[in-house]
Amino acid sequence: MPIAITRGISPRFADCELTHQIRVPIDLLQAEREHAAYADALRGLGLQVIELPASTELPDCVFVEDAAVALPECAVITRPGAASRRPETEAVATALKPWRALLHIEAPGTLDGGDVLVLGKRILVGAGGRSNAEGIAQLGRLLAPWHYSVEAVPLRGCLHLKSAVTRVGEDTLLLNPEWVDAALFAGWRCIAVDPTEPDAANALLTGDRLVYARHHVRTRERLQDASMEPVLVDAGEVAKAEGAVTCCSIICDTA
Ligand code: GLY
C-alpha cells in the first residue's frame, strides 16, 4: 500500500511565509477541517496516511512536500530556501527513514520539494526562487547513480514550479503557460489552466487518480473535458498560505 506523509496545521499557520500573495486572515479551524478531509480523501484512494503532529514553532509545517523529494530509489531531504522552514525537514526525515535511503542537500544549496517535478527519469526544478543553482546541482549529483537527469527551469510569477505545472496523467500535464514555458514539455499533452484561475495548475496525481482543489471550477471543467474526474477537496485556507494540494503530502510507493 502506498503511504502519504502529512503533517498537521501549525497554530501559527497565519505567520506563514508569503512570496507573491498578499496576507489575508486564515481561519485555523477551517484549515484543520480541510486538512482532515484531505487525509480522508487520500485514505479513500487507498493510501496509508502517516500524520505527523503539527509544530507550534513552524508556521508552514503542513507543507511537507517542500522537505523531501521521494523517489522509488531514495528520498532527498531538502534544505528549504526560506530559512524559517529549514527545521521542518527533521520530522519528515524521521518519518521517511523506514521507507527510503535518505540523501541530503547541504549548504549553501537550497531546494524546495515544491520546485521539483518528476517526469520519469527527467526531473525539472524551478530555479531562482526557493531553489538555487547549487541545490539543483547537488540534486543532479545525488541522483546520477540512478540515471536521473536534473534540469533547472526558469519560473515567473509564482512560488514553486509545481504552482505552475503538475502531472495529471500518464502523458498529460496541467500548466499555467504564463508562469512556465510550455515549450519545455514537448511530447506531453498539455492542458492550460483557465486564465481566470492562474493558480489552478496544482493537482495531486496518485496512481491514476487526481486530487484537486474544489475552488478551481473552470479549470476542473477542462480536466473533465479531457475525461478526468478528480476527487475534489476544499483547499481554500492552504491557498491563502500559497499552498495547494501537492504541498500537503509526500507520497511513497511501497513494494
Ligand atoms: N507558505 C508557503 C511557503 O511560502 O513556503
Q: In terms of Cα–Cα distance, which of 98, 94, 114 is closest to 53?
A: 94
Among 54, 149, 155, 55, CA closest to 114: 155
- Please give the pLDDT value at position 254: 87
Q: Which residues are catalytic?
A: 160, 247
Q: Apex CA 27: angle with CA 88 and CA 37, to 5°?
A: 70
Does the beta carbon of 17 sit less than 6 angstroms from any atom of ligand 1?
yes
Ligand 1 pocket, 241 CB below 6 A?
yes
Q: How far apart are CA 41 and CA 222, in angstroms?
A: 22
Q: How confident is the model over 189-209, as pLDDT tens digits?
A: 999 999 999 999 999 999 999
186: three-class secondary structure by DSSP:
coil
Which of helix, strand or coil describes residue 165? strand
Give how far the C-alpha of residue 105 lies from the chain's centroid of Cα atoms, to the nearest Å: 17
Tell me if 15 CB under 6 Å of ligand 1. Answer: no
The third-level CATH classification (topology) of the domain covering 3-252 is L-arginine/glycine Amidinotransferase; Chain A (3.75.10)
Closest Cα to atom 4, ligand 1: which residue?
A: 17
pLDDT tens sequence across 65-102: 999 999 999 999 999 999 999 999 999 999 999 999 99
State the pLDDT at residue 225. Answer: 98
The C-alpha cell of 5 is what?
Answer: 506523509
DSSP state of 203: -
Residue 93 near ligand 1, beta carbon < 6 Å: no
Q: How far is the CA of 209 from the centre of ligand 1 (A)?
A: 26
Whether the upstream peptide bond of residue 195 has omega within 30° of 0, thus cis, is no
Please calculate the CA angle 93-148-5 and round it to the nearest 5 degrees: 25
3-state DSSP assignment of residue 238: helix
* pTM score of the predicted model: 0.98
Chain-centre distance for alpha carbon 138: 20
Cβ contacts of residue 140 below 8 Å, gap of 6+?
148, 149, 150
The yes-or-no verdict on residue 255 having pLDDT over 80 is no
pLDDT in tens, 207-231: 999 999 999 999 999 999 999 999 9
Which ligand 1 atom is at minimum distance from the Cα of 85? 5
CA distance readout (Å), 170 to 223, 247, 248: 14, 21, 22
pLDDT of residue 55: 98
| pLDDT (average), residues 148-153 | 98
* Region 116-144 average pLDDT: 98
pLDDT of residue 1: 87
The edge-to-edge listing of strands for the beta sheet with 250-252 is 48-52, 3-7, 250-252
Tell which one of 62, 161, 199, 242 to mutate to probe ligand 1, the residue whose CB is within 8 A of the most ligand atoms: 242
Return the pLDDT at 248. Answer: 98
Mutation test of ligand 1: which of 78, 159, 162, 245 has the most ligand atoms closer than 8 Å to its C-beta?
159
